[in-house]
Structure 1
Amino acid sequence: MSSREKEQSIALSAVFQAAELVSILAKTGQVDKDSLAPMLNSILTVNASSTEDIYGGQWDCQTHLALGRKVSRKALGKERSSVNPDTLRYALSLIHLENKLSKAPDMLSLIGQKIGQIEQKKAHYDSVLHENMIASISGMYQDTLSKLPFRIQVHGDSRFLQQPQVANQVRAILMSGIRAAMLWRQLGGKRWHLVFKRKALLQALDARP
């Protein structure tokens, strides 16, 4: 296993964690805060020295992305049929949408500006999970990625999706998924790797730090 494959497995775990969180949230109106926090924090972590540091460092990366690693293993392995179809769709859609974003330099610049503004706001709140922080990240998604021709359609229980707080959480998680998909691409990840490099990625996902 190369260090690049290890880094790719981290980014891929984050993509699948975002996808699974959106799937769960859309159907239940609730989400695990321990899985959500590292995803939202990753959006504001722009000068990390390594891929692991974006999600809390070598050791925390194993726990913070535990949900994503579990789903990734299933999606790439023999248990693919047990993965929620919506989760698979969201994961592939995030990779596709990020690819569109990578070709829109003006939008990337705007996202960079907004991340800086949100980072300044963070000093006024005790956690990135504060509803005002989540609303700001949601607003960034609406002002940027929602403007692209391709949009991710989220399916779930309308009773929850129509609630502003849940809708903000969904968009904020999608934004974190775009962050992860950007990492995946920057590390050389390709969509076809999910088919033809499954064995190597599975080995990286199973590896201990």
Structure 2
Amino acid sequence: MSTRVLALAGLVQALAQVRRVADTGQANAAILNTAMDSVFRIDSPSPSAVYGGVEALRPGLTLLRDYFGTTQRDEQLPRLVLAVMQLERRFVRDSAMAQRVQAGIRSQSDNAERHGSSHPDVMSALGSLYAETLSHLRPRVLVQGNPHYLGQATVVAEVRAILLAAVRSAVLWRQCGGSLWDFLLRRRALLEAVKDHLG
């Protein structure tokens, strides 16, 4: 559960940024970098290495603590989490699409290395990759936000690129043994694991 919850924190952290960008047009730069870096760390030795260490996941772990501890309820966030988990299942069953997405990510890795994974050109390319692949699967992940920002192509590309990072975390969650039912039914065990990481 300890490593599994890190992937879940990465997923929630990315989706919180999706919400923020859709509402305000602006991401938190550090959290955005963590999410986008994870997309390019395909062969990492451990879940924490995918995100550059546990400390980088503190915002996501805090969100999970608040959610499982019922301190604070953001109704949109769990809905998005469930939608991305369902999307991940469809995605991994479509081997041709999975290969296409991986090839698209690899084609941007030099760019990401040179300019940073959250550089506008990289985000635009990853947003297009999401639009051409994952956005055709059902259920679609429907992001609500400020129409002013969601009408801007750069913001839409950023939202899609971060959704790609969220799917990356959902894949890792599954690889670590996590399931939809864990998220829904094993709240106490997940909360204890979150508290262990937060100290």
Matched residue count: 198
Give the one of 120, 130, 136 matched to 2:125: 136
Residue equivalent to 1:25: 21
RMSD: 1.4
Residue equivalent to 1:74: 66
Greater than 3 Å deviation, 4+ residue runs: none
Distance 1:199 1:153 in 2: 28
Which residue identity lines up with residue 23 of structure 1 in the other structure?
A: R
Residue equivalent to 1:120: 110
Give the one of 157, 174, 188 matched to 1:168: 157
| 1:78 Cα offset (Å) | 2.4
Distance 1:118 1:135 in 2: 11
Residue equivalent to 2:141: 152
TM-score by length of 1: 0.90
Residue equivalent to 2:85: 95
What is the SS of the residue equivalent to 1:207? helix
Larger deviation, residues 174-183 vs 143-152: 143-152
Which residue identity lines up with residue 103 of structure 2 in the other structure?
A: Q
Which residue identity lines up with residue 88 of structure 2 in the other structure?
A: E
Which residue identity lines up with residue 18 of structure 2 in the other structure?
A: V
- The answer to whether the 8 Å contact 1:19/1:88 transfers is no
Identity of aligned residues (%): 28
Distance 1:85 1:196 in 2: 17
Distance 1:173 1:17 in 2: 10
What is the SS of the residue equivalent to 2:171? helix
Distance 1:180 1:93 in 2: 13
Give the one of 43, 47, 50 matched to 1:47: 43
Extract unaligned runs of 5+ from structure 2: none
| 1:123 Cα offset (Å) | 3.9
| 1:159 Cα offset (Å) | 0.2
